[in-house]
């Protein structure tokens, strides 16, 4: 028997003794049917191999983090001393992510924000009509124009938004973000055409389109075409960006939305990874070498529960799975190809916040920040406590959110040690468990024919719908507790109300008239543009769409240049690709 085996045998013996002499006695004394004690010894990770499972921060398999230290740590001290106000942890920092009304409305808003100290390029939210490939004059757009984001009908709208972005804010200097999926190819084409018109080389453009269409079928619902055609468009974007816009991130995948739609932790990880697999394969099918494009893949945040240990383990497992996927399956060699690059790491998810005693959400979000700080990310506290009130975040809530992150960094020093749980019997076994379950689920999807097949059959959609309902049932039956919601709600408790001043982010009068103004602008464009050129470029697109081997990006750019509208382009593709219909649930 080796020394290690002997050691484990001794522990096993000691554990049995402990159970008999200590644990069982106490359980008996309290007359419990089963023990509430969970304790992890070396037996839980008997084959633990540090270099294989964890490794040093910034080294394969990246369990301990992508980097030896993150960029923000390099200037954390300066930021505190100099009073600089980074919006750490706040995806929704002052006027950061947003969009509303017409292109003119949003442009004016951005100008105002820049006068108040905003930096960087636009981080655009689009209205639902744009997201679903409809122009503002479509019957489907009725009541939706400019509501949850800005309306983009054609290139002239896109160009309007960028009017203030010149000089120091020129588009080769500041990055832009586009939260767009189904029509991502069109928006990216608009970005390219804009650069072209300004004489800026495409290779200087930076930014991130969301461009994660597969999760739309699963979680967010703004799809247009059947998934396999969407994946073909993804391939075309991936190839186009790699060849012409190498600084642009290609996508921002997975995680967050799937979890918020009800997925369990394992489902979220497995589905996102299966989607990522489909995207990587699409790039390879497009003739690219994996290391030429995988470094430009990004993720949005994995996470979304209050269970702090599990969320830490999730981050570690996710990094390990992705690194191994890229290296072992796709033979990537560049370490950057193997990293999960995400702006926010662990967090509680908006669905963990409660309307009841709203300020508790600050406490909740701090737990998410701790999970992030202890799993290789910035301890960003997210979301602001007033998230479930549905009015936009108040300045007060954003201030408290930023401060909470700072308190975790500077006072609690949560992020002072990289992967502080490395080697913990409990954390390593939990990480292994989440990894194993996710890999098993990924294999199941692989056997179905991959992410596209699992979406076409409705498997993923049904699975998360079931999970969401089961969680709801657990809450209603008090198998799971949510403070102030299904427990501690008696009359001895006190309602805590917080005064907050919500600045109306967007002018409600502008919102009201946006639809009319946008429709007029579109009608005017359609009158003035060269109708023949529009028809012929759309016809070329249609012709090429039929040929699966053709990259459609040059045609889409040509349509954009000739002022074809977003819906006109989408309609051509609808004709060829068809429209997606959800399976029964």
Partner 1 sequence: MKITKTVENSWQSLVDGVQAGNIRAMARLITQVENREPGWKDAMKAIYPHTGSARILGITGSPGAGKSTLTCEIADELVKRGHQIGIIAVDPSSPFSGGALLGDRLRMKKIFTLKEVFIRSMATRGTLGGMSQAARDVARIMDAFGKDVILIETVGVGQDEIEVVKTADRVMMVCIPGQGDNIQALKAGVMEIADLYVVNKADMPGADEVMADIYAMLELSSEAGQPTPPVLKTSALKNQGIRELVATLMADSTESNRHDDKEEMRIKEEIFSLVEDEVLRFLRRRWEENGEIAEAARQMIEQKKDPYSIVAELLNQFI
Partner 2 sequence: MNEGKKMRVLMAKPGLDGHERGAHVVAHGLRDAGFEVIYTGLRQTTAQIVNTAVQEDVDVVGLSILSGAHLSLSQKVIDGLKNAGAEDVMVIIGGIVPDEDIPSLKKMGVREVFTAGTPVSEIANFITRST
Residues that bind partner 2 (CB under 8 A): 128-129, 131-132, 134, 139-141, 143-144, 147-148, 216, 220-223, 260-262, 354-356, 388-391, 464-465, 468-469, 472-473, 475-476, 482, 485-486, 582, 585
> With respect to partner 2, which residue has the nearer C-beta, 139 or 167?
139
> With respect to partner 1, which residue has the nearer C-beta, 41 or 465?
465
Nearest alpha carbon to residue 126 among 519, 534, 520, 566: 566
Instruction: Report residue 331 CA to chain centroid gap.
Output: 25
What is the smallest separation between the CB atom of 146 and partner 2, expressed in angstroms?
11
What is the smallest separation between the CB atom of 581 and partner 1, expressed in angstroms?
6
- Residue 446, classified by CB atoms within 10 Å of its CB into exposed (0-12), middle (13-18) or buried (19+), is middle
> With respect to partner 2, which residue has the nearer C-beta, 216 or 268?
216
What is the smallest separation between the CB atom of 470 and partner 2, expressed in angstroms?
9
What is the smallest separation between the CB atom of 128 and partner 2, expressed in angstroms?
4
> With respect to partner 2, which residue has the nearer C-beta, 193 or 464?
464
- Residue 388, classified by CB atoms within 10 Å of its CB into exposed (0-12), middle (13-18) or buried (19+), is middle
What is the smallest separation between the CB atom of 277 and partner 2, expressed in angstroms?
24
> With respect to partner 2, which residue has the nearer C-beta, 469 or 488?
469
| DSSP β-bridge partners for residue 123 | 97, 177
The partner in contact with residue 134, picked from partner 2, partner 1, none with C-beta cut-offs of 5 to 8 angstroms by kind, is: partner 2
Number of H helices, E strands in the chain: 24, 6
What is the smallest separation between the CB atom of 474 and partner 1, expressed in angstroms?
18
The partner in contact with residue 465, picked from partner 2, partner 1, none with C-beta cut-offs of 5 to 8 angstroms by kind, is: partner 2
* CB-CB contact of 226 with 578 (8 Å): yes
The partner in contact with residue 457, picked from partner 1, partner 2, none with C-beta cut-offs of 5 to 8 angstroms by kind, is: partner 1
* CB-CB contact of 161 with 192 (8 Å): no
The partner in contact with residue 128, picked from partner 1, partner 2, none with C-beta cut-offs of 5 to 8 angstroms by kind, is: partner 2
Cβ of 74: how many Cβ atoms within 10 Å?
9
What is the smallest separation between the CB atom of 458 and partner 1, expressed in angstroms?
9
> With respect to partner 1, which residue has the nearer C-beta, 261 or 400?
261
What is the spatial distance between Cα 128 and Cα 224, in angstroms, rounded to a whole number? 12
DSSP character at residue 20? I
> With respect to partner 1, which residue has the nearer C-beta, 462 or 526?
462
What is the smallest separation between the CB atom of 53 and partner 2, expressed in angstroms?
34
The partner in contact with residue 205, picked from partner 1, partner 2, none with C-beta cut-offs of 5 to 8 angstroms by kind, is: none
> Looking only at Cα atoms, what is the longest distance across the chain?
89
**Contact set with partner 1 (CB under 8 A):** 457, 578, 581-585
What is the smallest separation between the CB atom of 441 and partner 1, expressed in angstroms?
21
Nearest alpha carbon to residue 315 among 65, 23, 571: 65
What is the spatial distance between Cα 157 and Cα 108, in angstroms, rounded to a whole number? 13
**Helix intervals (H) in 286-410:** 290-293, 308-324, 360-373, 395-406
| DSSP β-bridge partners for residue 126 | 150
Alpha-carbon torsion angle 10, 16, 20, 21, nearest 10? 20
DSSP character at residue 341? -
> With respect to partner 1, which residue has the nearer C-beta, 229 or 406?
229
CA angle 243, 246, 249 (to 5 degrees): 120
The partner in contact with residue 440, picked from partner 2, partner 1, none with C-beta cut-offs of 5 to 8 angstroms by kind, is: none
Length, in residues, of the chain: 585
> With respect to partner 2, which residue has the nearer C-beta, 102 or 277?
102
The partner in contact with residue 578, picked from partner 1, partner 2, none with C-beta cut-offs of 5 to 8 angstroms by kind, is: partner 1
The partner in contact with residue 329, picked from partner 1, partner 2, none with C-beta cut-offs of 5 to 8 angstroms by kind, is: none
């Amino acid at each position: 028997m080796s020394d290690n085996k002997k050691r484990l045998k001794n522990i096993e013996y000691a554990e049995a003794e402990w159970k008999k002499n200590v644990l069982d006695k106490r359980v008996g004394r309290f007359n419990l049917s089963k023990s509430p004690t969970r304790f992890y010894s070396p037996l839980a990770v008997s084959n633990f191999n540090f270099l294989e499972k964890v490794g040093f921060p910034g080294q394969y398999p990246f369990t301990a983090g992508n980097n030896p230290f993150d960029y923000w740590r390099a200037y954390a001290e300066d930021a505190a001393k100099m009073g600089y106000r980074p919006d750490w942890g706040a995806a929704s920092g002052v006027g950061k992510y947003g969009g509303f009304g017409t292109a003119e409305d949003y442009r004016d808003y951005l100008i105002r924000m820049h006068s108040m100290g905003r930096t960087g390029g636009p981080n655009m939210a689009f209205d639902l009509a744009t997201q679903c490939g409809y122009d503002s004059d479509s019957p489907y757009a009725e009541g939706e124009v400019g509501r949850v984001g800005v309306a983009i009908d054609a290139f002239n709208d896109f160009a309007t938004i960028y009017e203030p972005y010149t000089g120091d804010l020129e588009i080769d200097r500041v990055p832009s973000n586009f939260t767009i999926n189904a029509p991502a190819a069109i928006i990216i084409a608009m970005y390219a055409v804009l650069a072209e018109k300004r004489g800026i080389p495409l290779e200087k453009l930076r930014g991130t389109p969301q461009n994660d269409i597969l999760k739309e079928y699963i979680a967010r619902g703004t799809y247009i075409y059947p998934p396999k055609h969407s994946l073909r468009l993804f391939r075309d974007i991936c190839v186009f960006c790699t060849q012409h816009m190498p600084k642009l991130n290609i996508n921002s995948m997975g995680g967050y939305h799937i979890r918020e739609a009800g997925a369990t932790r394992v489902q979220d990880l497995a589905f996102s990874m299966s989607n990522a697999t489909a995207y990587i394969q699409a790039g390879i099918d497009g003739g690219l070498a994996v290391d030429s494009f995988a470094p430009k893949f990004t993720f949005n945040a994995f996470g979304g529960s209050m269970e702090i240990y599990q969320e830490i383990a999730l981050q570690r497992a996710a990094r390990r799975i992705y690194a191994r996927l890229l290296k072992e399956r796709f033979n990537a060699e560049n370490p950057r190809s193997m990293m999960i690059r995400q702006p926010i790491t662990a967090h509680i998810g908006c669905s963990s916040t409660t309307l009841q005693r709203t300020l508790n959400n600050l406490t909740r979000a701090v737990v998410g920040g701790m999970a992030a700080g202890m799993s290789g990310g910035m301890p960003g506290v997210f979301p602001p406590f007033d998230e479930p009130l549905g009015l936009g975040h108040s300045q007060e809530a954003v201030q408290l959110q930023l401060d909470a992150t700072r308190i975790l960094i500077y006072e609690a020093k949560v992020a002072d040690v990289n992967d502080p749980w490395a080697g913990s019997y409990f954390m390593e076994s939990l990480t292994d468990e989440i990894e194993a379950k996710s890999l098993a689920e990924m294999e199941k999807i692989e056997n179905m024919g991959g992410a596209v097949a699992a979406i076409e059959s409705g498997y993923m959609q049904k699975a998360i719908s079931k999970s969401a309902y089961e969680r709801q049932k657990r809450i209603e039956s008090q198998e799971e507790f949510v403070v102030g919601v299904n427990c501690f709600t008696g009359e001895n408790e006190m309602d805590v109300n917080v005064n907050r001043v919500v600045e109306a982010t967007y002018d409600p009068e502008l919102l009201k008239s946006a639809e009319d103004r946008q429709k007029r602008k579109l009608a005017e464009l359609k009158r003035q543009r060269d109708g023949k050129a529009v028809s012929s470029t759309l016809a070329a697109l249609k012709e090429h769409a039929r040929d699966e081997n053709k990259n459609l990006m040059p045609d889409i750019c040509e349509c954009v240049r000739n002022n074809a509208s977003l819906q006109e382009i989408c309609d051509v593709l609808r004709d060829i690709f068809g429209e997606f219909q959800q399976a029964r649930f």
